[in-house]
Amino acid sequence: MNRNGNPTSLDLDAMTASLLVRLADTWGVSEKEAVRRALKQADLATRTSNKEDRLAAFKGLQRSLDLTSAKAAAWQDAIREARR
């Protein structure tokens, strides 16, 4: 929502729109949710200045993605396989 409390509409160039679709697919969420998460992550990145804050932000992101050890291991395996 914008400052007036109304829904916000974005007009993205083709490259940014493609990036948004790819990010949403990677995260398994809607494009709206991908924008929310990316903005939240960018906000956290601009606010964090020390190691503890950065680690807390990273752990918060992991929790928000429901990233388990098994999911992380599967992702790591898929990346290794793709690099072969």
Which range of residues forms the domain containing residue 53?
48-82
Q: What is the band of 22 on the pLDDT scale with cuts at 50, 70, 90?
A: very high
Read off the pLDDT of each residue in 63-71 and give the average, rounded to a whole number: 85
Task: For residue 62, tell me if it sits in a domain.
Answer: yes
Task: For residue 16, tell me if it sits in a domain.
Answer: no
Task: For residue 14, tell me if it sits in a domain.
Answer: no
Task: For residue 19, tell me if it sits in a domain.
Answer: no
The rounded distance, in Å, linking the Cα atoms of 20 and 59 is 23
Q: What is the band of 1 on the pLDDT scale with cuts at 50, 70, 90?
A: low
Task: For residue 59, tell me if it sits in a domain.
Answer: yes
The rounded distance, in Å, linking the Cα atoms of 2 and 41 is 19
Q: Is the pLDDT of residue 47 over 90?
A: no
Query: Taking the model in full, what pTM does it have?
Result: 0.51
Total number of domains in the chain: 1
Read off the pLDDT of each residue in 63-82 and give the average, rounded to a whole number: 88
Q: Is the pLDDT of residue 48 over 80?
A: no
